[in-house]
Amino acid sequence: MAAQRLPLEGLTVLAIEQAVAAPFASSRLADAGARVIKIERAEGDFARGYDDVAKGQASYFVWLNRGKESVVVDLTTPEGKESVRALLAEADVMIQNLKPGALERLGFARADLRKAYPRLVMCSISGYGDEGPLADRKAYDLLVQAESGLASITGGPETASRVGISIVDIATGATAHAAILEALIARSITGEGADIRISMFDVTADWLTVPLLQAEGGKPPQRVGLAHPSIAPYGVFATKDGKEILISIQSEREWRKFCAVFLKMPALPQDPRFESNVARVANRPETDGLIGAAFAALDAEEAVRLLTEADVAFATVNDMAALSAHPHLRRITVDTPQGPVALPAPAAIFKDAPRHYRPVPEIGQHKPITTAENAAPQTEKRS
């Protein structure tokens, strides 16, 4: 049976990128079949040096650069600029996350590119956008976590905390991916490309809508660790054999059943302190105290049995070693210059259309284009 055509086969993406946010977006385009040409400096994307845990290679780079071509280009030289112009003439998408203004200083003003290549979908990622008081400020994931207020609602009561992954970069990359796909769909209808601008700060602020509205409504969220600031019970409880289990009660129906089956206290929902979620949040110490005592009297196996019988949503509190061995973890294997590496599989499953993932490139593994003989504006390009 012939392999099925991937949805973005035939599209070319020019990725002038580094670090995480832009490579996340372009990696998803590569997974879908696009030809992604990654422009690197002679020393390579600096994410290649973040760590050395993936067979001597950086975990971030292996994760986010499979299926791409690596082309070394010095963008400050006439030859490098010529190569980029030749690539732009053939590209359907350009994604870049250079420092604000860098593309313009290199002679590639986006307004000019928009005129020269009207079918090109351009996506620019920055820390704070093109306008506003922080537009020229450097930005990295943790800095934006702090500046946006995300860190202030993360962690326990004692101190603010970083989210344990590069959540701002990943969220920004996912937003860019979605916006690029929207623009490609629009181009298939109108024939027009797009000039997309995405800032890490804007993405994070959007994701912080709920806590922002809570704060502006007079109920700023508090840091409560592995609990929920506005739902109770929603937190971690320890069994008598030392296992930690996180439970979540989302409705009064669930609460009544939990009280009857797990707590063996069917009348508890009639107590004014526990009769509604608002009351339970206001009386969280008493709520959690009752539940904690019930968990402490059970071993993990019995607790899980009763939670399942009560149809309560729960999870065990795992670490990375547990994830590595987790029976629910799906993996893919990608080839790298140092050998195959197993990674968590991308979340989207396309039934009856299994994906095959291409290798991670070495620095400069692919040759740059050195002439612009085909660099005509895209007036005749495909949809």
CA angle 280, 286, 242 (to 5 degrees): 110
CB 280 within 8 A of CB 233: yes
Q: Which of 228, 326, 356, 366 does the annotation list as catalytic? A: 228
Give the SS3 label for residue 347.
Answer: coil
Return the structure tokens found at 249.
């009660």
User: How far from each other are the two terminal CA atoms of the chain, in whole angstroms?
Assistant: 28
CA distance 77 to 84: 11
Give the SS3 label for residue 246.
Answer: strand
Return the structure tokens found at 195.
């000039």
CA angle 71, 76, 78 (to 5 degrees): 85
For 36-52, give the DSSP string: EEEEE-TT--GGGGS--
Helices in 234-319 by DSSP H: which ranges?
252-261, 277-282, 284-296, 300-309
CB 294 within 8 A of CB 233: no
Is 228 annotated in the active site?
yes
> Is residue 108 classed exposed, middle or buried when 0-12, 13-18 and 19+ CB atoms within 10 A define those classes?
buried
Give the SS3 label for residue 96.
Answer: strand
2-to-5, 11, 350, 353, 354 alpha-carbon distances in Å: 9, 21, 16, 11, 12
Return the structure tokens found at 157.
């009561």
Return the structure tokens found at 350.
């396309």
Would you name the residues annotated as active-site residues?
Answer: 228
